[in-house]
Amino acid sequence: MLETRDLTVRFGGHVAVNAVSCAFEPGTLTAIVGPNGAGKTTYFNLISGQIRASAGSVRLNGVDVSSLGAPARAQAGLGRAFQLTNLFPNLTVRENVRLAVQARAGAGLNLWRIWSDRRDLVVRADEVLEAVALADKGDAFASSLPHGDQRKLEVGILMALEPQVFMFDEPTAGMSVDEVPVILNLIRQLKADKTKTILLVEHKMDVVRELSDRIIVLHNGELVADGDPATVIASPVVQQAYLGINPEEEVSA
């Protein structure tokens, strides 16, 4: 469904993502891990079109989308949660979700005109609010929500847009311990839909271990490991980067 071929970006002399070739299939959740500065967010930016590649390509359903900007890639089915930047702070929670539902239905963005005769859209918006556990906060302004609820709303908006590819960049960052399970449950629900491809950048290895079908590891912009979670987590590069364990010392100890 989604593929990067030799995807590369240089910032001045620095190669932040270096010839990364990888294909992502529907029905799988792939975690992208690696130490700080490894190029994970930059790789996401290249896929979603926030930045243009210096070389290589991004293909969606076999079509090269490399020349498209971020909005066109979103329309083509690449959905990315943007850590709160895609919320409308002065609209209510329900209005935020409704706008996304409307956009998905191709019904334009006039919040006040459409709702009386599109009961299906109302129902869908309410379903999404239920799914992200925000049904009781539908009338609150997005700006008034605590951080964790804003992150849930952001996921709700993404769900309402029904992309083919869901991209989550540290979806639980800044959330309190009791809020984390809600987001993880949502991602689990999305995973159950075998037509969706999910990419997840996440530092918390327990989350990665639990959710992912596959892990790829970036290091200095390069793809250095790719495989099933157990194998990749046990690999020297991950042990060293995340757990501070030097496998050679372990062996000699």
Ligand X SMILES: Nc1ncnc2c1ncn2[C@@H]1O[C@H](COP(=O)(O)OP(=O)(O)OP(=O)(O)O)[C@@H](O)[C@H]1O
* Complex with ligand X: residue 121 or 198, whichever CB lies closer: 198
* Complex with ligand X: residue 37 or 148, whichever CB lies closer: 37
Shortest distance, position 242 Cβ to ligand X, whole Å: 11
* Complex with ligand X: residue 24 or 44, whichever CB lies closer: 44
Q: Are 72 and 63 in contact (CB under 8 A)?
A: no
User: What is the length of the chain?
Assistant: 253
Shortest distance, position 153 Cβ to ligand X, whole Å: 23
Which is nearest to 17 in space by CA: 35, 43, 36? 43
The HSE-up count of residue 233 (CA atoms within 13 Å, CB side) is 15
Tell me how far apart the alpha carbons of residues 199 and 238 are, in angstroms, rounded to a whole number. 18
* Complex with ligand X: residue 17 or 128, whichever CB lies closer: 17
172: tokens are 């639980």
Shortest distance, position 21 Cβ to ligand X, whole Å: 17
Shortest distance, position 192 Cβ to ligand X, whole Å: 28
Ramachandran angles phi, psi of 56, nearest 5°: 85, -175
* Complex with ligand X: residue 45 or 96, whichever CB lies closer: 45
Q: Are 190 and 163 in contact (CB under 8 A)?
A: no
Q: What residues line the site for ligand X (CB under 6 A)?
A: 11, 14, 16, 34, 36-42
Shortest distance, position 169 Cβ to ligand X, whole Å: 8
